[in-house]
Amino acid sequence: MPLPKAELHLHIEGTLEPELAFELAARNGVTLPYASTEELRRAYLFTDLQSFLDLYYGLMAVLRTEQDFADLADAYLARAAEQGVRHAEIFFDPQAHMARGVSMETVVGGLSRALATSEERFGISTLLIMCFLRDQSAESAMETLKAAEPYLNRITGVGLDSAEAGHPPAKFREVYEEAGRLGLRKVAHAGEEGPPAYITEALDVLKVERIDHGLTSMQDPAVVERLVRDQIPLTLCPLSNVRLRAVDILEEHPLREMMAAGLLCTVNSDDPSYFGGYVGDTFHAVQEALGLDHEALRTLARNSFRASFLEDDEERRAR
C-alpha cells in the first residue's frame, strides 16, 4: 500500500502521456511531428526549463475539445490513485490553450467534469489552480483572470508558471491583487531556475501562501530563515529538477538538507509524463537516492496534507 499523500504541484498538461497524445491527435486530425510514441519519448532529453517548455506547449496542440480535457484528467486520476494520492491540487495553463483558439469554457468544462466525480471513482479530492504564463504580459494575465470569472466556483486559486528567468513575480502584482479580491488562493513558481530574491518577492509582493519549487532558497540563508520562520510550504519536484538540469543527479538533490533546515517541504511530480514518474514513483526515487527512512517519508506525506488548501478549509471550519 503506497503512503496516502496529497499532490500539490502537478500541471495537468504535463500528465499527457505519448499514447494519449497520439490517440487525441488521431481523433482531432492533428499531425504530430513525431512518427511514433517511441520517437516522441526519445525527444524528452531536456537541457533546461525552456527546452522542456517548447516541447510541452507544442504537444498541447492535440488538446482541442472538452472531452479531451476530461480524458486527460481521468488518465491522471487513475495513475494518481495507484500511487496513493488522496488529494490533488491541479494546475492548468489556460493561456496556452486560448492562444490556440480553445476557450476557457472548454478547458474548465472538461477538467471540472472529470474532477466532479473523482472522489467517488478514485477516492481523490481535487481542486483547480489556474496558472498565468509569466513570460507573457501582465495584461494578458489580467484578461485571463477576467475570462475565468464565470468559472470561479470551480477554481480555487491562481499560480504563476512557465519561463522564470527575467520574469520577476512583481510583474504580476495587480493581477494577484485582483485575484485576492475575488477570493482566490495564491501560489507561484519561484526559485526553480530564478534567484532566491524571486521567492521573497513572491511572498512580499504577490502575497502567495505557498512557493512552487523554492529550490534556490538554499543559495541564501536569509531566505531559508524567512521560509522556516513563517513555515511557508515548498512544493519541491526532485525528478523535474534532475530532468531540467537544475541539479545534476538525484543523489545531489538538497531535499535532506532542506528538511533538516526546518523547511516545510513537500515532494511532487510537476509534469510526470515528461520527467519519469508520478508522485509515488518520486517518493521511491528520493528514498533510494537520498537514503530517506520511513519516518522522513511519513513526514513528507504529512507535510503534503498540512500544506494543502484542503487542510486549511478544515481548520477554518473547525474554528
For residue 48 the three cell numbers come to 533546461
Rounded distance between C-alpha atoms, residue 78 and residue 67, angstroms: 16
Q: How near is the Cβ of 10 to ligand ES4 at its closest, in Å?
A: 10
- Among positions 44-73, residues that touch ligand ES4 (CB under 6 A) are 49, 56
Residue 137 CB neighbours (<10 A) = 13
Q: Which is nearer to Zn ion, 52 or 122 (CB)?
A: 52
Q: Which is nearer to Zn ion, 193 or 270 (CB)?
A: 270
Q: Give the count of residues interacting with ligand ES4 (CB under 6 A).
A: 11
Rounded distance between C-alpha atoms, residue 120 and residue 167, angstroms: 40
For residue 155 the three cell numbers come to 477554481
Rounded distance between C-alpha atoms, residue 166 and residue 233, angstroms: 24
Residue 241, interface with ligand ES4 (CB under 6 A)?
no
Find which of ligand ES4, Zn ion, none residue 97 binds, CB within 5 to 8 Å per kind.
Answer: none
Residue 271, interface with ligand ES4 (CB under 6 A)?
yes
Out of 126, 217, 235, 240, the residue judged to bind ligand ES4 by CB under 6 A: 240
Out of 64, 97, 185, 189, the residue judged to bind ligand ES4 by CB under 6 A: 189
Out of 72, 270, 272, 279, the residue judged to bind Zn ion by CB under 5 A: 270
Rounded distance between C-alpha atoms, residue 22 and residue 56, angstroms: 14
Q: Which of 13, 89, 164, 192 is catalytic?
A: 192
Rounded distance between C-alpha atoms, residue 165 and residue 254, angstroms: 21
Residue 253, interface with ligand ES4 (CB under 6 A)?
no
Residue 193, interface with Zn ion (CB under 5 A)?
no
Going by C-beta distance under 8 Å and a sequence separation of 6 or more, which residues neighbour residue 2? Answer: 82, 83, 84, 280, 283
Q: Give the count of residues interacting with Zn ion (CB under 5 A).
A: 1
Residue 89, interface with ligand ES4 (CB under 6 A)?
no
Looking only at the bridges linking them, the beta strands covering 233-236 and 210-213 are: parallel
CB-based closest residue to Zn ion:
270
Q: Which is nearer to Zn ion, 32 or 202 (CB)?
A: 202
Residue 13, interface with Zn ion (CB under 5 A)?
no
C-alpha to C-alpha distances, 49 to 44, 63, 152, 255, nearest whole angstrom: 12, 22, 30, 20
